[in-house]
Amino acid sequence: MATFGSSRRAFIRTMGVAAAAATCGRAAAVKAQDFKPQDQKKLTQAAARYQDHPKGNELCGSCPYFVAPKSCVLVEGEISPTGWCPIYTTFSPLDRGGHI
């Protein structure tokens, strides 16, 4: 029984790595404009806890959800490239949740 569970985990891990490798090049080229969640409303700036200044080295302009010059895929209103909110990430939208 332990062998079956162990080999099953190894198989799942191997498949996850193979899937990640297959999509790696495509995910790197994705821009925020390409990520279009279906029927998803944007968060208000208050709900997203948006601030118009960076948090350390993290700023909206380097987040994949930022759309130049002053917009965000997930947060409504005018967004400063030097702003920040807790949604900030460096992962591509296609990469989110794909890590083992």
Domain assignment of residue 17, yes or no:
yes
What is the predicted pLDDT for the residue at 1? 47
Question: Do 24 and 49 fall within a single domain?
Answer: no
Look at the block and give the residue holding tokens 């332990």.
Answer: 2
Token pair of 73 as six digits: 């895929």
Domain assignment of residue 100, yes or no:
no
Residue 50 pLDDT > 70 = yes
pTM of the model: 0.56
What is the predicted pLDDT for the residue at 99? 47
Q: Which among 67, 86, 91 has a CA at the least distance from the CA of 77?
A: 67
* Total structural domains within the chain: 2
The residue segments making up the domain with residue 11 are 1-30
